[in-house]
């Protein structure tokens, strides 16, 4: 058992595979063999591990699947990154494919091949095109099918968030990446935002002392998005009809997990979760939809607020919130606390013992000159237009840069699985009166020797 093991809730599915992976049997995690696809990089579990990397490549040939709002944004960012080439585009809407083909040509690249023969045409793209990377920004339920098809066809995979919806899907990503020796990365852009990266730099330099606690979340009024007649409104609302938990954990959780070295010296151990009443979407449908709109008859179960507590094996705590159905300004909270100080957002402010005035906050920018992350000193990042203030460009730049240089990625498939699996685990806890639920160890024990995320130069 783990150092802080807790009783697991009864499994929603009682399959042997799921039972074993949730760690309900003592010692199961320790009995599983090391990573199959990366075994050549591993020594014993007492020696530092070399993270998975592939040989350098001269450029990155990309097939992009799903070119709606976020997909189009990523294509625009990738076209600015040296060495990235959009070779193929896939979407169920032919007009979207044609539009992106024109964008790529206007950027000076050759016209990419188009794929628009239905929801599974990405499989034809993966099989027929000579590509290095398949990148997907489809609805959530398609992330895993696209990534798995890509890796089986010998391509690396990158996906928008969350990487997966279920625990079994998380394991499928991990096992496929290991089997075929391919990268599978979740593109969590909030790990590249300026304040989050500055705090990571401060943590690495010891400014916070020992990191003990984090608070984070995704707090964003999405009622207009969910009831839109295009884009995410065509699919995202459906998750609120059948699921009650934290449906979108990774924006807030990813940066905190990196500061706590999750999967790289520590790991999530267990969580408890509870949801409040479901009211926001019901009020919106009754107050804003026409009397004959069939969406007025939809029933929703998603609690407007979901609150989750996560404990790590080393005893650290995380408070995680999901709040998307009520009126509110946008926030990710982003609070990190250690033995020597803490940072809190929004707005971004900090207190460091011995440096800040006693019992007072300071603006985070007071520390910018000394602790700005090197990657954010780049003029191209700080002046990036669109792309959520530069972090989208930076995440796409880093992906391409690491592939070309043959370096490990900033995030990997184990991060994608650990951060994404929180969704189903919160649903299980909520369904069983907030009982604790164990978090699977997707690294199979190698979290103890995997090195932390480094501070890299621009």
- For 272-283, write each residue's pLDDT tens digit: 999 999 999 999
Percent residues over pLDDT 70 in the chain:
90
Name the average pLDDT for the chain.
91
Query: What confidence score (pLDDT) does residue 13 get?
Result: 36
21: left (phi over 0), alpha (psi -120 to 50) or beta: alpha
Query: What confidence score (pLDDT) does residue 7 get?
Result: 36
- Average pLDDT, stretch 66-88? 97
Which band of pLDDT confidence, cut at 50, 70 and 90, is reported for residue 37?
very low
- Average pLDDT, stretch 90-116? 98
pLDDT above 80 (res 121) = yes
Tokens for 244?
């009650």
pLDDT in tens, 133-143: 999 999 999 99
Query: What confidence score (pLDDT) does residue 48 get?
Result: 78
φ, ψ at 362 (rounded to 5°): -125, 155
Virtual CA dihedral for 139, 141, 145, 151, nearest 10 degrees?
70
Tokens for 302?
């998603």
- Average pLDDT, stretch 355-375? 97
Query: What confidence score (pLDDT) does residue 44 get?
Result: 59
**Of residues 61, 68, 109, 59, the one with CA closest to residue 90:** 68
Query: What confidence score (pLDDT) does residue 116 get?
Result: 98
pLDDT above 70 (res 39) = no
- Average pLDDT, stretch 290-299? 97
Query: What confidence score (pLDDT) does residue 16 get?
Result: 33
Query: What confidence score (pLDDT) does residue 14 get?
Result: 31
Which band of pLDDT confidence, cut at 50, 70 and 90, is reported for residue 49?
confident
* CA dihedral over 369, 373, 376, 378, signed as positive or negative: positive
Cβ–Cβ < 8 Å for 151, 182: yes
Helix axes 143-152, 121-128, angle to 10 degrees: 20
SS3 content of the chain, % helix, strand, coil (to 5): 40, 15, 45
126: left (phi over 0), alpha (psi -120 to 50) or beta: alpha
φ, ψ at 206 (rounded to 5°): 80, 15
pLDDT in tens, 308-341: 999 999 999 999 999 999 999 999 999 999 999 9
d(CA 183, CA 60): 13
Residues recorded for the chain: 458
Tokens for 395?
């995440």
Q: What is the pTM of this model?
A: 0.91
pLDDT in tens, 170-225: 999 999 999 999 999 999 999 999 999 999 999 999 999 999 999 999 999 999 99
Query: What confidence score (pLDDT) does residue 29 get?
Result: 32
Which band of pLDDT confidence, cut at 50, 70 and 90, is reported for residue 437?
very high
Query: What confidence score (pLDDT) does residue 20 get?
Result: 44
What domains are there in the chain, each with its CATH number? 190-375+411-448 (3.30.360.10)
**Of residues 318, 320, 293, the one with CA closest to residue 306:** 320
């Amino acid at each position: 058992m783990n150092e802080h093991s807790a009783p697991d809730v009864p499994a929603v599915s009682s399959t042997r595979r799921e039972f074993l992976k949730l760690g309900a049997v003592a010692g199961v995690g320790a009995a599983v063999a090391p990573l199959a696809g990366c075994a050549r990089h591993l020594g014993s579990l007492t020696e530092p591990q070399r993270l998975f990397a592939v040989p350098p490549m001269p450029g990155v040939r990309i097939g992009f699947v799903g070119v709606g709002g976020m997909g189009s944004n990523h294509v625009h960012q990738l076209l600015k990154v040296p060495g990235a080439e959009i070779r193929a585009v896939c979407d169920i809407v032919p007009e979207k494919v044609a539009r992106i083909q024109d964008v790529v040509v206007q950027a000076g690249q050759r016209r990419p091949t188009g794929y628009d023969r239905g929801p599974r045409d990405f499989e034809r793209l993966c099989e027929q095109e000579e590509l290095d990377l398949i990148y997907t920004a489809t609805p959530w339920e398609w992330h895993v099918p696209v990534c798995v098809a890509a890796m089986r066809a010998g391509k690396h995979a990158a996906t928008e968030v969350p990487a997966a919806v279920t625990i079994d899907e998380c394991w499928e990503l991990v096992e496929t990446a290991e089997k075929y020796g391919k990268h599978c990365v979740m593109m969590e852009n909030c790990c590249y935002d300026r304040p989050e990266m500055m705090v990571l730099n401060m943590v690495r330099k010891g400014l916070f002392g020992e990191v003990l606690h984090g608070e984070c979340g995704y707090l964003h009024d999405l009622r207009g998005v969910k009831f839109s007649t295009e884009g995410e409104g065509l699919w995202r609302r459906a998750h609120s009809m059948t699921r009650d938990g934290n449906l979108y954990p990774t924006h807030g959780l990813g940066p905190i997990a990196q500061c706590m070295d999750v999967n790289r010296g520590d790991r999530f151990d267990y969580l408890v979760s509870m949801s409040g009443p479901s009211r926001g979407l019901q009020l919106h449908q009754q107050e804003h939809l026409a009397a004959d709109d069939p969406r007025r008859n939809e029933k929703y179960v998603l609690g407007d607020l979901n609150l989750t507590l996560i404990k790590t094996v080393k005893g650290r705590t995380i408070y995680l919130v999901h709040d998307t159905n009520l009126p509110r300004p946008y926030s990710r909270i982003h609070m990190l606390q250690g033995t020597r100080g803490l940072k809190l957002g929004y707005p971004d402010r900090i207190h460091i013992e011995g440096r800040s005035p006693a019992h007072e906050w300071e603006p985070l920018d007071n520390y910018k000159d000394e602790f700005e992350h090197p990657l954010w000193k780049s003029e191209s990042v700080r002046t990036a237009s669109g792309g959520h203030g530069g972090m989208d460009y930076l995440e796409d730049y880093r992906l391409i840069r690491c592939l070309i240089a043959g370096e490990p990625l900033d995030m990997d498939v184990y991060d994608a699985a650990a951060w994404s699996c929180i969704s189903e685990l919160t649903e299980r806890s909520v369904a069983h009166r907030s009982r604790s639920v164990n978090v699977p160890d997707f690294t199979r024990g190698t979290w103890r020797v995997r090195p932390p995320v480094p501070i890299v130069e621009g």
